[in-house]
Structure formats: structure tokens, C-alpha cells
Amino acid sequence: MLGLRVVRGPNWQHGDQDGGEDHVGTVVEVNGANSVIVVWDMGCTTVCRGGGGEYDLRVFDGAPVGICHPIACVACEDVAVFGTIWRCATCTNVTLCSPCYHDDKHDISHEFVRLDLPKADPVTVPKRASSQRSRSMGIFPNALVKRGAHWEYGDQDETESNSKANDLLDLVLLLFYDGVPNFCCAKET
């Protein structure tokens, strides 16, 4: 799916082309049934496998492409969850959105299953109590950003120096160091 946010998966064989462990990228092109092109937030582009039992990628966030689960999060009570949902394997009535899951809004000694798509097969994940936390690296609100390989906006930023990402949806509101805000496309269409 174009726009899907991804990280390294179980069969990653591309060294540090993604910028390293925990760096985030965006699927920008689908090459048939078994490969995609990913632009990593740090600027590199990689062709990644996704079929035949070999998966270079893992879904980081499906919300940017509009993946919606018609179920409420029991912690924040949002009535529709965008992106990944997390179901407790112990408490059958507990479903969490990603922010609530990662903020430990339910017993961290319980095993969970992860669902990236509404009709996807659930993937069992280890108990958070015994899991190591990692910090995702990429373009997030307040991240420093600069022109990438796919920049198509001329001198809109008036300089090639860094700017600050303020909001991330289909558009990014950039606050340039001169204090002038501007919108730029965050993903290729």
C-alpha cells in the first residue's frame, strides 16, 4: 500500500540502507506482488521483498494510508482505531490503539496480538514486561528535516538548511528557521 510506514522486518538483508535499526520509511511504489520501493526518512531508497516467505519489512503504522478498524479502544475510548490495533490474549474484551498500547494502558505482563489490517491474521507479540523498548527514528512532529532526493518545491524553503516538521499527515507543516510556516507534500502520489 502506498504511504504505508514501515521498519526493518524479519528477513532484512540491506545493511544500513534504512539508516539503521528502528528507522522508519514510507512505501512509495509497488513492484508487482512481491516487492516495494521504500524511501527511508533519512533519504535513501531501497527495493524490499514482501512475498514467498521473505519479508524485509514490518508495518510500523497503517494510519497514514487510512487503515481503520471499526472497533473502540478501551483505554482512550476512540470509537474507530486508525493504524494497528492490539488485542490482549488474556482479556478477550481489551483492544487498544497504538498510542495506548505503547503507553502501557493495560497489564504489561499480558501477551497481545497485533492486527495491522482489519481482516489480517493476528500476530502474537511478546509480553511488554519482558520486551526491550526501542526508539523509532524518522520524521515525526518537531523532527529536524531538510530537502530530500524527491524535493519538487523549488526554493519554497528559501534555503537547503534544516527546518522543523510541525505536523504530519498528507502534508507537512514546516517551520523554517526564519519563522515562516509552509506546507510541503509528505508523500509521493
Query: Are 12 and 43 found together in one domain?
Result: yes
pTM comes to 0.65
Question: Which pLDDT score, from 0 to 100, does residue 99 have?
Answer: 87
146-182 pLDDT, tens digit each: 666 666 767 765 555 555 444 443 344 444 444 444 4
141 pLDDT higher than 70: no
User: Is residue 139 included in any domain, yes or no?
Assistant: no
How many structural domains comprise the chain? 3
d(CA 2, CA 28): 5
Query: Are 15 and 52 found together in one domain?
Result: yes
User: Is residue 138 included in any domain, yes or no?
Assistant: no
Confidence of residue 5 (pLDDT cuts 50, 70, 90): confident
Structural domain of residue 25, as residue ranges?
5-61
| Nearest partner of 116 among 83, 89, 81, 70, judged by Cα | 83
pLDDT: which is higher, 105 or 146: 105
